[in-house]
Amino acid sequence: MSGAHHISRGAAGACLLLTALFLPACGSSKKSTSTGSSSSSSQGTLALSITESGGAARYTGPTSIKGGLVTMTLKNEGKQPHTAQLVLLKGNHTAADALKEIEGNSNKTPSWLRAAGGVGLTPPGQSSSSTVLLAAGHYAVLEIPSGAGPPSGKPAVQDLQVTAGSPGSLPSTATTVTAAAEGKDKYKWQISGSLAPGANRVTFASKGHDTLHLITAVQITGNPSKEQLIKALSSNGPPPAFVKVQTSTETAALDSGQSTVAQLNLAGPGRYLLFCPLTDRDGGKPHFQEGLLTTVTVK
């Protein structure tokens, strides 16, 4: 059930949660690259919708906005779960370059591709939102394939130009989840506050050196040990019985040193496994093997 992946898709790892848990969440089995409308949004908002037609997914929304403090929304008008990851592109790279890198087999993430947050897994017929701080620059909005990704076709993707906007501070939330660095290749979840069934607004802070993180959550049953959980995430077999695959959800990825207010959609009360399947930029072990793995009770 290998769940390890970085923002570039190639690493093996948590196959349990990524092939069985994320593959159906990547949208239609025959998606194609698509772009949205060319209108500009007002400062402070990035409103996107996503639809599916003829086996292809397509974003609709602005391709130019003012940056600074931005509220981002994704309205899923399709029949599959979808995401909208923001990626800052350095140099002369394009959204197509980012998609090619993400679809590749490398277990490293290049320095020109920076995860800037976005909207995580959004069920069909629903909307999710986040609050992000965006510097001026050229971005891509795309769906990050998880694990094996879509069986064919390409994720939805579009270019986004961000001009300088008014700086601001993230709104406060009752819950903060931090991917904290405790040393070289060692991390720890620091959680302040509680999580509840439904849509949770959480402050997500990504820490460390030359790395990136996201929050993946899935409900589990019984009392599996840490060793059992890591073994399941690291294997290439089917999910074990204690994982309720249909409850899986995740935030967008975020580079270290950044924070965002993310929406984490939890299916219902119960015990949840929180982990990060990403690797450092230079590859290496998935972060759930380096400390970013814990369980929380949702009431």
| pLDDT tops 90 at residue 103 | no
Residues 152 and 188 in one domain: no
| Mean pLDDT of the region 188-205 | 97
Count CA atoms closer than 13 A to 157's CA, side-chain side: 21
Q: 3-class SS at 288?
A: helix
Length of the chain: 299
14, 40, 187, 255, 262 from 73: Cα distances, Å: 28, 15, 30, 20, 11
Residue with more model confidence, 13 or 50: 50
Q: Which domain holds residue 220?
A: 175-298
| pLDDT tops 70 at residue 13 | no
Residues 181 and 294 in one domain: yes
180 occurs within a structural domain: yes
pLDDT band at 235 (very low <50, low <70, confident <90, very high): confident
Residue-level pLDDT at 166: 85
Residues 97 and 199 in one domain: no
pLDDT band at 1 (very low <50, low <70, confident <90, very high): low
> What is the average pLDDT score of the chain?
85
The percent helix, strand, coil of the chain (3-state, each to 5) is: 10, 45, 45
- The CA distance from 36 to 33, in Å, is 11
1 occurs within a structural domain: no
| pLDDT tops 70 at residue 32 | no
| pLDDT tops 60 at residue 81 | yes
pLDDT per position as a tens digit, 60-79: 999 999 999 999 999 999 98
Domains held by the chain: number? 2
Residues 61 and 129 in one domain: yes
Residues 142 and 224 in one domain: no
Residues 112 and 138 in one domain: yes
Residues 90 and 152 in one domain: yes
| Token pair 């069909």 in the structure block, residue | 124
Residues 278 and 188 in one domain: yes
| Mean pLDDT of the region 102-111 | 86
Residues 184 and 144 in one domain: no
| pLDDT tops 60 at residue 206 | yes
Residue-level pLDDT at 102: 82
Task: Please state the pTM of the whole predicted model.
Answer: 0.86
| pLDDT tops 50 at residue 21 | no
| Mean pLDDT of the region 123-151 | 82
Residue-level pLDDT at 25: 32
